[in-house]
């Protein structure tokens, strides 16, 4: 349970991993969701589709890396859920102190100027969870 030092304030995005370059256009056309941001990273392209104030993040595998390994092992599907938090540094400190398994013990730069950190799937019954802080901080950009 979150403490007074931090809390989850909402869902930032839901991420869908795939390897088909036609998926973004298919989902955008079928659901009427505009692509509001595209970022290229090593091994994948990240696209954010807007659903009102919420986002569907499409992770397209384009080469070696975590997205490609995910798609090879599991096929296209839900990759992770990202929760917006009001104090990422406090969340990571408290979760670490409680012994919660973390992928990232320190915040790092995320897409769109955010700061992010992932919890290990074992911390949330097999679900990969990303914590997102929209506020500027100490993570490298």
Over residues 20-32, the pLDDT tens digits come to 999 999 999 999 9
Q: Please tell me the total count of domains within the chain.
A: 2
Residue 28 lies in a domain: yes
| Mean pLDDT of the residues in the chain | 92
Structure tokens given for 5: 């030092």
The CATH number covering residue 136 comes to 3.10.180.10
Over residues 38-53, the pLDDT tens digits come to 999 999 999 999 999 8
- The mean per-residue pLDDT over the stretch 66-85 comes to 96
Is 80 exceeded by the pLDDT of residue 136?
no
Confidence of residue 34 (pLDDT cuts 50, 70, 90): very high
pLDDT of residue 32: 95
Alpha helices in the chain (DSSP H): 23-31, 66-74, 88-97
What's the CA gap between 117 and 119, in Å, rounded? 7
User: What is the bridge-based pairing of β-strands 129-133 and 77-85?
Assistant: parallel
* CB-based contact 132:118 (threshold 8 Å): no
SS3 category, 11: strand
Range of the domain at 36: 10-79
């Amino acid at each position: 349970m979150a403490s007074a030092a931090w809390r989850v304030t909402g869902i930032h995005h839901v991420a869908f991993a795939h390897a088909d370059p036609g998926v973004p256009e298919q989902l955008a056309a079928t659901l009427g969701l505009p692509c509001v941001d595209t970022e290229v990273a090593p091994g994948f392209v990240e696209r954010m589709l807007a659903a009102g104030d919420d986002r569907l993040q499409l992770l397209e595998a384009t080469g070696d890396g975590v997205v490609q390994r995910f798609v090879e092992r599991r096929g296209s599907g839900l990759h992770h859920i990202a929760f917006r938090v009001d104090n990422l540094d406090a969340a990571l400190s408290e979760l670490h102190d409680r012994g919660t398994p973390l992928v990232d013990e320190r915040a790092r730069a995320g897409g769109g100027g955010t700061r992010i950190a992932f919890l290990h799937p074992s911390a949330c019954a097999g679900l990969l969870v990303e914590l997102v802080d929209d506020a500027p901080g100490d993570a490298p950009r």
